[in-house]
């Protein structure tokens, strides 16, 4: 009997896919720190993007014939349990400096002869 219960539990949906968890915020379930809106509201992840949307109705049905193990990644919508709990953005100091001064340009004078390949 116990093995049948385990099989049924494995075949059920993940706990984060329940209807009451669809609008749950990550900060309601976990202690979060410096979390942007997109990570705090996983139910609104990629809304309106047909290519990367996880909803079947947006893109139509997909063929089971061409399903690969690589297509499992992203096949389920994100939920509060798969979102990061902290957010550490990178320092943009280098890119801000590059935007002010521009890319490096080689203004050297070419004195070598160009060799013909003919």
pLDDT of residue 68: 66
Q: Tell me the DSSP string of 3-40.
A: HHHHHHHHHSPPGGGSGGGTT--HHHHS--BS--HHHH
What is the C-alpha to C-alpha distance for residues 44 and 23, in angstroms, rounded to an integer? 8
pLDDT of residue 70: 65
Q: Nearest-CA neighbor of 23 among 79, 104, 65, 76?
A: 79
pLDDT of residue 36: 83
- Mean per-residue pLDDT pooled into runs of 10, the chain (118 residues): 41 46 79 83 66 49 63 72 82 87 81 79
Asked whether the whole model's pTM tops 0.85, one would answer no
What is the C-alpha to C-alpha distance for residues 41 and 102, in angstroms, rounded to an integer? 37
pLDDT of residue 3: 45
37: which 2 tokens?
Answer: 């809106």
pLDDT of residue 9: 38
């Amino acid at each position: 009997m116990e093995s049948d219960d385990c099989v049924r539990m494995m075949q059920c949906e993940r706990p984060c896919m329940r209807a009451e968890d669809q609008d749950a915020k990550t900060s309601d379930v976990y202690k979060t720190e410096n979390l942007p809106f997109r990570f705090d509201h996983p139910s609104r992840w990629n809304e309106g993007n047909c290519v990367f949307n996880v909803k079947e109705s947006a893109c139509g049905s997909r063929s089971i014939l061409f399903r690969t193990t690589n297509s499992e990644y992203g096949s389920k919508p994100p939920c509060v349990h798969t979102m990061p709990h902290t957010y550490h953005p990178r320092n943009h100091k280098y890119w801000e400096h590059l935007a002010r001064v521009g890319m490096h340009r080689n203004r050297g004078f070419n004195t070598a002869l160009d060799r013909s390949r003919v």
